[in-house]
Chain A
Amino acid sequence: MNIYGALEQGSIREGVLRTLMNLRDVILKTLNDHPYLLEYADEVRNAKLRVAEDFDYWIDRSMEVLEKRGCHVYLAENAEKARRIAGEMVGSGKTVVKAKSMVSEEIRLREYLQSLGNEVWETDLGEFIVQVADDRPMHMIVPALHYSEAQVMEILKKVGIHGRDAEELASGVREFMREKFLKADVGVSGCNAFSAETGRVFLVENEGNIRLSTSLPERYIALVSIEKILPDDDLALKSVFVQSAYVGTFPPAYININEKADSQEMHVIFLDNGRKTTEFREHLACIKCGRCQLECPVFQLAGSLWGGEVYGGPTGMVWTAITEEIPEVCFLSTLCGKCREVCPSDIDMPGMIRKMREIILKAR
């Protein structure tokens, strides 16, 4: 489906607006009650931009720390290399449980591991719904926001999960997934923030699926896109705090600070995929909270269908430019500036979208 299909359908619009209504006041109240989060946001932005100025140094440092701690570490320049590496670690005939991760979408990891003959499960409820529906995540944090309860009911029937309401469906999914968690050979996660000081992988969540995906299997693979690197633990923790505040789920029910455990094999894949050399460097301060998506008028109509193959909305426009190519639909932005206004990192997305237009027109 393209943007025009989305406009006709209306369910994306309903879902985005519903999510926005549910979260916007919570976000404002959180920031009002916890004003220090604004300072954290500033510190995180500055630290990320500092790291982005010298990725080579920070990647080296991170890899060294991880190796010392007994992890297997890899650096993938592009999506294909990253999925190959992950594929070699997983092999075939395995059960893989996955935490929701936009970076894994970026490298099409689930599809690739499935093509090698593995059973791969998205364990986040929303992402699981999207997987079963054979759809794409419509928002970075709330991937299934475009489905109604009744639609989810229909979708989940495909995997034998039945229920009359959200509560029953969720409980069906819990049961279904519990079995997968317990038999899983490999756990895969992305990373919300990475500490170059200690090699710890910070992940926030509310469901508890990441905790189980990353601690139960004997083999754990963390996919870390290089802009997640922060100099130390404190900044990484601040980063995940800010992220959860700006998406309206503060504090996160769970913070996982993953590191090498004696009884677990841990692999860390660093992914570049256009980040090191991008001219949109300021955007590497994005913490992917997805707040700009909900607030953007074009996203409110078309969700992530306004974007590239993976990322959509204002932040997604720039992420697409960094990891794929500049999307021509960037001309649909009204440059109203709402994205920058609500961004915890004050990223000049309208400015970058204009820059993209300039590049597209110059290439004629």
Chain B
Amino acid sequence: MKIIQILRSRGVEVIITENARKEIERFRDAHVSQALSADERSGVIFFGGFQDKRAAGLAFHHVAILKEEDIMKDVISAYNHAKSKSDMIFASSSPSKSADIEGKLIFGMHGPKKFTVIVEVRK
């Protein structure tokens, strides 16, 4: 899956598993969201719901559970797939970052410093 490489290349921790439930045990201090869909090409991951959006924004560590079957071929399909399941869609693709001070890249500006994606593959 191309998306795994893409996410890893930008500092996202990616875990591939057949059982996501087992994996989230490890992330008790993080905010865990169920992803609604993702764009294979850009690595943009869609979520939904106002409360989840606030919590994901405030968290220091955001963990997403993404099902393999929710990975779509392009961003428009991914967005529409997410929209069919929830309102208040929002998307993340990397940890929070900024390069506003002399172009120096720092992570964890206002949002999560760490972003983990657990990709649940079919058994």
Contact = CB atoms under 8 A, between A and B. Distances in A.
Interface of A: 18-19, 22, 34, 36, 123-126, 129, 142-145, 147-149, 152, 165-167, 169-171, 173-174, 177-178, 181, 206-209, 211-212, 215-216, 233-234, 237-238, 241, 250-257, 259, 261-264
B110 A207 contact: yes
A125 B109 contact: yes
A206 B90 CA distance: 13
Given A211-B111, A233-B79, A261-B50, A254 B92 contact: yes
A128 to B, nearest CB: 9
A173 to B, nearest CB: 8
B96 A207 contact: yes
Interface residues of B, number: 40
B26 interface: no
Interface of B: 41-44, 50, 53-54, 56-58, 74-76, 79-80, 83, 87-104, 106, 108-112
Nearest to B111: A208
A166 B111 CA distance: 17
A49 B80 CA distance: 25
Contact of A255 (B56, B90, B96, B98): B90
A237 B110 contact: no
Given A207-B110, A209-B111, A253-B95, 13 more contacts: A22-B103, A142-B100, A152-B102, A167-B104, A170-B108, A173-B109, A181-B110, A209-B110, A211-B56, A215-B57, A234-B80, A253-B96, A254-B92
Contacts, number: 139
Contact of A34 (B42, B91, B95): B42
B54 A253 contact: no
Contacts of B50: 215, 261-264
B16 to A, nearest CB: 21
A207 B104 contact: no
Contacts of A144: 100-101
A10 to B, nearest CB: 15
Contact of A124 (B83, B94, B100): B100
A123 B110 CA distance: 9
A149 B102 CA distance: 6
A149 B101 contact: yes
16 contacts: A19-B103, A22-B99, A142-B99, A145-B103, A149-B102, A167-B104, A169-B101, A170-B98, A174-B110, A207-B110, A209-B111, A211-B111, A252-B93, A254-B91, A261-B50, A261-B88
Contacts of B93: 251-254
Contacts of A34: 41-42
Given A212-B57, A257-B89, A152 B101 contact: yes
Given A34-B41, A257-B89, A206 B96 contact: yes
A206 B97 contact: yes
Given A208-B57, A237-B79, A251 B88 contact: no
B93 to A, nearest CB: 5
A212 B92 contact: no
A125 B58 contact: no
B58 A212 contact: yes
A170 B96 CA distance: 12
A29 to B, nearest CB: 12
A18 B103 contact: yes
Contacts of B103: 18-19, 22, 145
Contacts of B100: 124-126, 129, 142-144
Nearest to B49: A261
B44 to A, nearest CB: 5
